[in-house]
C-alpha cells in the first residue's frame, strides 16, 4: 500500500499533474506515511526523474517548471505535517541566505530547498534570482546568518558559485559561513573544486547537508565538504 502511494506520488510529479500530486499527497497522509518520507521517496523521486531527463536533453524547461509546480503543491499540502514532525526542534537550527547566482533566473530547485529548510527548523531568507556574489555575503552579514546557499541550473553560471566563496575569502569572512552549492549541473567534484562546505543532489539532501554542517560545529572552510551524492534507483 505504502509503496504504491509513493510510486503514484512520484508518477504525478513526472507527469506534471498538480491535481493528482495533491490528491496522492493527501492519500499519503491518510495512510500514515510520514510527510518527509512522502517527499523524499515519492515526490522527490519524481523530481529526480525530470531533472535527469532535463540534463540528458530528454525534457525541456516547460516540463521542469510544471514538475516544479507540482512539487510545490505537494509541499504546500504536506507542509503542516512536516512542521509537526519537526516540532521537537527547540530552536531554529540557524539562518540560511539562499538565492540563484548571477546570470540565472531559474528558481524551481531553489524554492523547493528553501521551503524544505523552513519546515525543517531553519530561518530562511530567499534573496531571489540573478544574485551577485557580494549580495549573498552582504545579506548574510545583515541578518547574522550562518549558512549561505547558492543555486544554478546553468553551466554558464556555475563560475559565479565559485565567485561567492572567493568573495568570502577576500572579505576575510570565509570562516564565518557554511557555504552550500546545488543545482542541476552541480556535482560533488565541482563543490570540492571551489572549496564549498557542502552539496546535496536533491532538495532533501540539501537540508540534510545543512543539518550536518550546523551540528558538526566545525569552522567553515577548514574541512572536507559534506557531500550527499545521487544514486538513481
Q: Which residues are bridge partners to 149 per DSSP?
A: 98, 180
- C-alpha to C-alpha distance for 121 and 119, rounded to whole angstroms: 6
Predicted local confidence at residue 232, as pLDDT: 41
Predicted local confidence at residue 195, as pLDDT: 96
Per-residue pLDDT of 19-56, as tens digits, reads 999 999 999 999 999 988 898 889 888 888 887 787 77
Per-residue pLDDT of 94-108, as tens digits, reads 899 999 999 999 888
Residue partners of 223: CB distance under 8 A and separation at least 6: 197, 216
Going along the chain from its start, the domains and CATH numbers come out as 2-85 (1.10.1240.10), 94-228 (3.40.50.280)
Torsion of CA 160, 166, 171, 172, to 10 degrees: 150
Note whether 165 and 194 are within 8 A (CB). yes
Indicate yes or no: pTM above 0.85: no
Q: Is 207 helix (H, G, I), strand (E, B) or coil?
A: helix
Amino acid at each position: 500500500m505504502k509503496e504504491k502511494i509513493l510510486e503514484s506520488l512520484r508518477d504525478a510529479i513526472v507527469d506534471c499533474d498538480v491535481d493528482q500530486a495533491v490528491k496522492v499527497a493527501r492519500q499519503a497522509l491518510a495512510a500514515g506515511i510520514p510527510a518527509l518520507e512522502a517527499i523524499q521517496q515519492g515526490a522527490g523521486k519524481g523530481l529526480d526523474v525530470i531533472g535527469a531527463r532535463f540534463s540528458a536533453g530528454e525534457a525541456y524547461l516547460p516540463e521542469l517548471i510544471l514538475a516544479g509546480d507540482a512539487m510545490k503543491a505537494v509541499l504546500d499540502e504536506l507542509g503542516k505535517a512536516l512542521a509537526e514532525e519537526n516540532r521537537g526542534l527547540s530552536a531554529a537550527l540557524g539562518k540560511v541566505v539562499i538565492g540563484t547566482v548571477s546570470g540565472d533566473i531559474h528558481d524551481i530547485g531553489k524554492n523547493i530547498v528553501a521551503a524544505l529548510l523552513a519546515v525543517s527548523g531553519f530561518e530562511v531568507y530567499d534573496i531571489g534570482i540573478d544574485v551577485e556574489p557580494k549580495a549573498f555575503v552582504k545579506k548574510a552579514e545583515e541578518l547574522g546568518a550562518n549558512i549561505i546557499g547558492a543555486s544554478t541550473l546553468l553551466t554558464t553560471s556555475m563560475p559565479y558559485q565559485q565567485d561567492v566563496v572567493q568573495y568570502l575569502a577576500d572579505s576575510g569572512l570565509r570562516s564565518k559561513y557554511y557555504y552550500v552549492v546545488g543545482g542541476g549541473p552541480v556535482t560533488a567534484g565541482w563543490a570540492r573544486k571551489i572549496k564549498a562546505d557542502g552539496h546535496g543532489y536533491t532538495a532533501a539532501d540539501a537540508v540534510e547537508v545543512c543539518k550536518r554542517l550546523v551540528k558538526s560545529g566545525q569552522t567553515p572552510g577548514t574541512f572536507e565538504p559534506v557531500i550527499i551524492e545521487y544514486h538513481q534507483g
